Chain A
Amino acid sequence: MVAPYLCIPEHMPVFHLTRREHFNAAHKLYNPAWTKEKNDEVFGKCANENWHGHNFELFVTVKGEPNPETGFVIDAKWLSQLIKTHVVDVLDHKNLNLDVPFMVGKMCSIENLVYEIWKQLEPRLPQEVKLHCVKLVETPRIFVEYFGE
């Protein structure tokens, strides 16, 4: 017998829960296999050898049914701590090309970065939830979303 205040409907609805975090980092877009001229041509001012940087906003969305005892899809504080430990602490105030183990040898585009962030988080989530989307906002005008496809 379940107490009425737990409010379990017959069909459990599915929710998306999003945690928003931020980090500030330097990077450059530069393909070492190309000449400087080709890098300048393709990446423009983003290829500046001395780096530039951004305030990145990260949105991590998980999908699941709420736990009947807590009403939570996931404990948002726990999710925040997971993101902090495996992503934000690794990226914040860092040089994405030089300081981040999971970006070594990869082009430092936000597409690649969001894919690597997904790989850091997805295996560490509890079974009850699925990682639905990782969205990374590089500037107020540019962002990418990855859905695990």
Chain B
Amino acid sequence: MNIFLSLLFIYTMGTRVSVFREEHFNAAHRLHNPAWDAQKNQEVFGKCNLPHYHGHNYELIVKVTGEIDPGTGYVMDMKVLSDIIQDEVLNRFDHKNLNEDVAEFKEMNPTAENIAVVIYNLLRPQINEQLDLQVRLYETPRNFVEYPVI
């Protein structure tokens, strides 16, 4: 290894950096609590409770934080991260009805908050435990959530 690269690795050793991957999926959902009657659902969830579903273009930002690997210069290979998101999240959620097609939401209201937690729990086991993980989910350009809260 030449001296320049050696110095560069020493320079960045132990440096923590956050890397981000942005993906998107389009899905239908409705907000409904089966434990409540129709009137209370309507009162609490308004038009989000309409029976025939509505939908969103969800934008997902996955944030991975950790030390720069001296071998690659990466915190994480973004292609690997992209493939994990594709397999774990997009293949399950994209062009789906979250209430009907996604097992996790059979018993859970698919709010942006709950979707973000489910996505985190799907991704966490696939990513090196030395790396911190956070997801930000945009339900609309104006409404978004983050999990976990750091």
Contacts and interface: CB of A to CB of B under 8 A. Distances in A.
Contact of A25 (B24, B48, B54, B96): B54
A53 B101 contact: no
Interface of A: 22, 24-27, 45-46, 48, 50-55, 92-95, 98-99, 139-140
A53 B55 contact: yes
B96 A26 contact: no
Contacts of A94: 50, 52, 54
Interface of B: 24, 26-29, 47-48, 50, 52-57, 94-97, 100-101, 140-141
13 contacts: A24-B55, A24-B56, A26-B53, A50-B28, A51-B28, A51-B53, A52-B97, A53-B53, A53-B54, A53-B55, A93-B54, A98-B52, A140-B24
A52 B47 contact: no
Given A51-B28, A53-B28, A26 B95 contact: no
Contact of A26 (B24, B47, B52, B141): B52
Contacts of A46: 95
